[in-house]
């Protein structure tokens, strides 16, 4: 797990880049499916959160692994709350990406949690992400329920 901080002065995501979600505050964050190769013409993230059941390969940018099995919820919900809050904070000044294998279920759920942190009411966050990121985001009933009950760290 590479947790070093970047300078915080990166050029932001281009909001026309596939997978980039604009939160109501204007923060930009990218969701991605890891099974799809990175497009070399697109900016690399400066920080990534990888939502996988097994540890992801190392990246050349700062990153965190959040143990999150496919079609499930985070293994440690308190850690998830902390990691997602950190990602939301970093998105104000860094190119943050959230990614799982397909880029829809776990990634959509995490993006919806960032929307909650950004001020979207929890009961509207899944619809927000489906409208602005991917209409198939957040795949299971328990993922939807997780977002409805998501709260910032105390």
Query: Does residue 11 sit within a domain?
Result: no
Q: What pLDDT is recorded for position 39?
A: 86
CA distance 90 to 87: 5
pLDDT classification of 1: cutoffs 50, 70, 90: very low
Query: Does residue 47 sit within a domain?
Result: yes
Query: Does residue 77 sit within a domain?
Result: yes
Query: Does residue 106 sit within a domain?
Result: yes
- The stretch 46-55 carries a mean pLDDT of 97
Query: Does residue 154 sit within a domain?
Result: no
Q: What domain count does the chain have?
A: 1
| SS3 state at 119 | coil
Query: Does residue 36 sit within a domain?
Result: yes
Domain that holds residue 78: 20-148
End-to-end CA distance of the chain: 24
pLDDT classification of 153: cutoffs 50, 70, 90: confident
pLDDT tens-digit profile of 110-128? 999 999 999 999 999 999 9
* Total-model pTM: 0.92
Q: What is the CATH number of the domain that holds 132?
A: 3.90.190.10
Query: Does residue 3 sit within a domain?
Result: no
pLDDT at 35 > cutoff 80? yes
């Amino acid at each position: 797990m590479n947790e070093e901080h970047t300078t915080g002065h990166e050029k932001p995501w281009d909001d026309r880049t596939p997978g980039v979600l604009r939160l109501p505050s204007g923060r930009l964050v990218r969701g991605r499916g890891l099974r799809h190769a990175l497009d070399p013409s697109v900016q690399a993230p400066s920080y990534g959160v990888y939502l996988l059941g097994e540890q992801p390969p190392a990246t050349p940018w700062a990153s965190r692994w959040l143990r999150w099995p496919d079609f499930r919820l985070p293994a440690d919900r308190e850690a998830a709350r902390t990691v997602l809050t950190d990602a939301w904070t970093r998105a104000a000044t860094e190119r943050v990406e959230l990614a799982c294998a397909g880029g829809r279920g776990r990634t959509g759920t995490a993006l919806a949690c960032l929307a909650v942190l950004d001020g979207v009411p929890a009961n509207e966050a899944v619809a927000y992400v489906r409208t602005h990121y991917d209409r198939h985001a957040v795949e299971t009933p328990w993922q939807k329920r997780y977002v409805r009950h998501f709260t910032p760290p105390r």
